[in-house]
């Protein structure tokens, strides 16, 4: 494990300026294209929205895996950032991002030892626990001089992580408070299955119902004399719903910076498409073959785009559909617009699911307002799955 940690700390964390600006058509496709202006507008819009509601934002770096973007979000006022994995925390802390919450419980000595090492570095590192077993593993591996913030993870319905037991909650808080190395910082609740419910009203109804359950537990904890500073959770799909929840202090929004087809499909408060934020991330692919009329093959497949439920969508080709054709290829299908598409043409696609798609690429090719690519941003936490 020390070998892996050292390798992560040696990764590239800063922008790479190109000697010559490139057009999107000149990129080595498939390529991850990030429109900087749209990215910055998305960051600003979320900041303004949550600020007006009196909430902070703690954006999730699992979406972008890029310290450069985390620092842009912190510069915009984020209270810190989240990561899903210990290895992602290693990368962000090594890059100079100093306020990090690991949102998945740690239950092995291998990972807990890394957490203990990170907790000695003077940064503000936080973790979640949802079991006495996990807490004991952390305590056994945490050096005496280390300091670590701990949140109790609460579950209402998703059944992935978090405890539903009031007695477990109380015992965890008591054990955290009894150890001088630990600070009880608050609670986390995330209902990921709610984020992609189609239709604003059904999404709102279920999210607020689940948060009402969580708020009952928070009231119970406070009745035991326990102060709760942080209540964090939520996500992009309920960013304009969960601000109604009084107890929430900050939201763990992630995909809003990029937008993908999964999110675009869920609908917003006022439209069938969720268009509250701009699509800033696309995959540039090149047309390489045309075995039959009405179809043309591009050089991007499952190795460059990840999908749980939906297909990529051509960014600027109306009435055109995409289907995967294996690891290396995809096919564009259209009876109408194929007449204007030629071999060797670069087509930009809206990512089907941005988080795992990003994890397939080494760099963002950053497009500036002149339409050209002037720099690359490393996906520094690519492959950080542990």
d(CA 105, CA 287) in angstroms, rounded, equals: 44
| CATH number, span 37-262 | 3.20.20.10
Who's near 168: CB < 8 A, 6+ residues apart?
130, 131, 132
Q: Which of 6-20, 211-225, 249-263, 337-351 bottoms out in mean pLDDT, i.e. has the lowest?
A: 337-351
Q: Work out the mean pLDDT of the chain and round it to a whole number.
A: 96
The pLDDT tens digits of the residues spanning 281-331 come to 999 999 999 998 889 999 999 999 998 889 999 988 888 999 999 999 999
With H, G, I as helix, E, B as strand and everything else as coil, classify residue 112.
Answer: helix
CB 169 within 8 A of CB 232: no
Helices (H), the chain: 2-9, 36-52, 67-75, 86-95, 109-118, 132-141, 166-177, 200-223, 261-264, 354-358
Whether residue 58 has pLDDT greater than 90: yes
Whether residue 5 has pLDDT greater than 80: yes
Instruction: Calculate what percentage of the chain has a pLDDT beyond 70.
Output: 99
pLDDT band at 339 (very low <50, low <70, confident <90, very high): low
d(CA 111, CA 249) in angstroms, rounded, equals: 28
d(CA 84, CA 96) in angstroms, rounded, equals: 18
d(CA 187, CA 170) in angstroms, rounded, equals: 12
Q: What pLDDT does residue 338 have?
A: 65
Whether residue 335 has pLDDT greater than 80: no
Predicted model pTM: 0.96
d(CA 299, CA 346) in angstroms, rounded, equals: 10
The first and second tokens of residue 261, run together, are 């087809």
Q: What pLDDT does residue 316 have?
A: 86
Who's near 253: CB < 8 A, 6+ residues apart?
46, 57, 59, 60, 234, 235, 236, 239
How many C-beta atoms surround the C-beta of residue 346 within 10 A?
Answer: 19
Q: Mean pLDDT across the stretch 74-92?
A: 98
Whether residue 81 has pLDDT greater than 80: yes
74 burial type by CB count under 10 A (0-12 exposed, 13-18 middle, 19+ buried) = middle
Strands 148-154 and 281-289: unpaired
Q: What pLDDT does residue 317 have?
A: 87
Instruction: Calculate what percentage of the chain has a pLDDT beyond 90.
Output: 94
Look at residues 359, 254, 304, 363 and name the one whose alpha carbon lies nearest to residue 15: 363
The pLDDT tens digits of the residues spanning 153-169 come to 999 999 999 999 999 99
| DSSP state, residue 224 | T
With H, G, I as helix, E, B as strand and everything else as coil, classify residue 26.
Answer: helix
Question: Token pair 């978090």 is at which residue?
Answer: 162
Question: Token pair 């999110």 is at which residue?
Answer: 263
pLDDT band at 334 (very low <50, low <70, confident <90, very high): confident
Q: What is the DSSP string of 255-267?
A: GGGT--HHHHTT-
- Cα 66 from chain centroid? 10
Whether residue 345 has pLDDT greater than 90: yes
Extents of the domains making up the chain = 37-262
pLDDT band at 230 (very low <50, low <70, confident <90, very high): very high
Q: What count of Cα atoms within 13 Å lies in the side-chain half-sphere of residue 18?
A: 19
């Amino acid at each position: 494990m020390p070998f892996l940690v050292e390798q992560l700390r040696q990764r590239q964390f800063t922008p790479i300026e190109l000697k010559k600006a490139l057009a999107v058509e000149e990129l080595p496709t498939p390529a991850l294209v990030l429109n900087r202006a749209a990215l910055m507008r998305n960051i600003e819009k979320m900041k303004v929205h949550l600020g007006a509601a009196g909430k902070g934002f703690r954006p999730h770096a699992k979406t972008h895996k890029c310290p450069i973007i985390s620092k842009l979000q912190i510069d915009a006022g984020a209270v810190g950032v989240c990561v899903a994995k210990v290895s992602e925390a290693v990368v962000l802390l090594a890059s100079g991002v100093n306020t990090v919450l690991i949102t998945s419980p740690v239950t092995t000595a291998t990972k807990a030892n890394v957490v203990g090492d990170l907790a000695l570095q003077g940064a503000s590192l936080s973790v979640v626990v949802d079991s006495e077993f996990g807490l004991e593993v952390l305590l056994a591996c945490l050096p005496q001089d280390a300091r670590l913030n701990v949140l109790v993870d609460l579950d209402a319905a998703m059944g992935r992580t978090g405890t539903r037991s009031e007695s477990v909650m109380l015992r965890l808080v008591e054990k955290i408070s009894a150890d001088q190395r630990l600070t009880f910082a608050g609670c986390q609740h995330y209902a990921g299955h709610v984020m992609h419910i189609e239709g604003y009203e059904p999404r709102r109804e279920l999210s607020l119902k689940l948060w009402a359950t969580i708020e009952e537990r928070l009231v119970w904890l406070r009745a035991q004399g326990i102060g709760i500073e942080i209540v964090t959770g939520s996500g992009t799909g309920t960013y304009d719903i969960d601000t109604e929840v009084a107890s929430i202090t900050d939201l763990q929004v992630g995909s809003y910076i990029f937008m993908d087809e999964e999110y675009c499909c869920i609908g917003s408060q006022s439209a069938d498409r969720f268009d509250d934020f701009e699509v800033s991330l696309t995959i540039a692919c090149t047309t390489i073959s045309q075995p039959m009329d009405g179809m043309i093959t591009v050089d991007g497949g499952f190795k460059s785009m990840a999908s749980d439920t939906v297909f990529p969508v051509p960014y600027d080709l109306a009435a055109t559909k995409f289907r995967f054709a294996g690891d290396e290829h995809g096919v564009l299908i259209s009876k109408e617009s194929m007449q204007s598409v030629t071999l060797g043409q670069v087509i930009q696609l809206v990512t089907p699911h941005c988080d795992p798609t990003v994890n397939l690429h080494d760099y963002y090719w950053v497009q500036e307002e002149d339409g050209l690519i002037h720099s690359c941003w490393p996906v520094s936490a690519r492959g950080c799955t542990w």
